[in-house]
Amino acid sequence: MAIDYLMPKLAMAMNEGTVNEWLAAEGDYVEQGQLLATVETEKVSYDVESPDAGYLHIVVPAGETVDCETLLAQFAADEDELQQLQNGAVSPALAAPDVGSVQSPAPKTAAMTVAPGQGRVKASPLARKMAAAAGLELALLVGTGPGGRIVKRDILAAQQSAATAPAAVGDQVLARLPLQGMRKTIATRMTQSLRETAQLSSSWESDIDDLMALRQSFVVREEQLGTRVSFNAFLIKAVVYAIRRVPIANSCLVDDEIVIYDNVNMGIAVSIPGSTAYDSGLMVVVLHNVDRMGVVEIDREMKALIDRVRSGNATAEDLSGSTFTLSSTAGIAPPGLKTTPVLNQPNTALLGPSTPVQRPVVKDGEVLVRTLLPLSFTFDHRILDGEPAARWMSALHECLENPGLMLA
């Protein structure tokens, strides 16, 4: 009997994956442990090995995105069984998933045809649900699943065909972007975060003139240090200072338990350029154990981490395990703007610095022009109440205005 191979769950946060490439062809005999496919999740690619030996029958073609535990392929014991699978024999595992076997690569668009008098249309449960939601007539579609069964990709192709129809007179469409890949992940997680947490954002400004002077003392030693230490490296050190005084800000809600961490793994929101001017994305990379680093080491490790992610060479560890998040719009947002960033679940808190602005302030009885950094602190009120949140913000404010504290 054929052995089923399902989309593996390669990371805790993985809900779906994309088959980037099959490393063996349809009908090939593969050995157990042989590299079988490249699977991508949230821009991290994994080479997966074959868990069994047998003749490969590919169910999900390269380029498709499916949920974890969806049938990807089958291993036939011999060529006769392979022929049966290729001719549309369905294993018990194919009753539920939304994709089926194909005899040839799936067409880019589903052909439209009328099929009267052929009885009940064969379609997967998910395809029926998607067709009903999209207002599509199943009888007008040609299925590419086993035995002509209509499956998920046929519904998506029909929707794509409709989306590329000529615009109505007077409509001017600049671009149509499918909600998929990284953008779909962002949409899902941000909606989930707002729905499942009691988020509150508080904003203020801190005087960073002294901090900028401290940073400049490092910048002039750039050649000696081997790096031009960024402002964010100092900001991360200040966050660690505040966490040490209010540790519950460095926590996550895991099931029904608040887990407060001793080490600080800093999630850093990084923009990821897209292939066009419209499809850039955002990814939270994780710099582990920043509480054990000085500003120079933080800067070096942070730059290396961001380079790995933007070049597509990130590891699963690079994208997981954050205990606190930093999401900066400094240099991008207009000066003085205060934001209300959305929490990066399951973190309890997130700091959102923006672009500094110069303002007149009263300092030691004198009116001076100082550089002020706008800051927004978003926290989950289920875990962090107003009083400890205020103490955390005060500790950060103290450190930013007295930057020698972060180096003590």
- For 316, counting Cβ atoms within 10 Å of its Cβ (0-12 exposed, 13-18 middle, 19+ buried), the class is middle
Distance of CA 260 to the CA centre of its chain: 24
For residue 358, the surrounding DSSP H or E stretch is strand 357-363
> Can you tell me which residue has the tokens 């050995």?
31
Spot the catalytic one: 209, 307, 381, 397.
Answer: 381
Nearest to 349 by CA among 341, 361, 359, 358: 341
216: helix, strand or coil: helix
> Can you tell me which residue has the tokens 């014991």?
77
238 near 231, Cβ under 8 Å? no
Distance of CA 321 to the CA centre of its chain: 13
Angle, in degrees to the nearest 10, between helices 231-245 and 386-401: 140
Angle, in degrees to the nearest 10, between helices 152-163 and 125-134: 20
350 near 341, Cβ under 8 Å? yes
What are the angstrom distances between the C-alpha of 17 and each of 4, 8, 20, 46, 299?
Answer: 17, 8, 9, 10, 32
Nearest to 403 by CA among 175, 240, 280, 178: 240
- 385 catalytic, yes or no? yes
271: helix, strand or coil: strand
| DSSP β-bridge partners for residue 112 | 141
Spot the catalytic one: 210, 307, 385, 397.
Answer: 385
Q: How does DSSP assign 5-31, residue by residue?
A: EEPP--STT--EEEEEEESS-TT-EE-
- 288 catalytic, yes or no? no
**Phi, psi dihedrals of residue 271, rounded to the nearest 5°:** -75, 140
**Residues noted as catalytic:** 381, 385
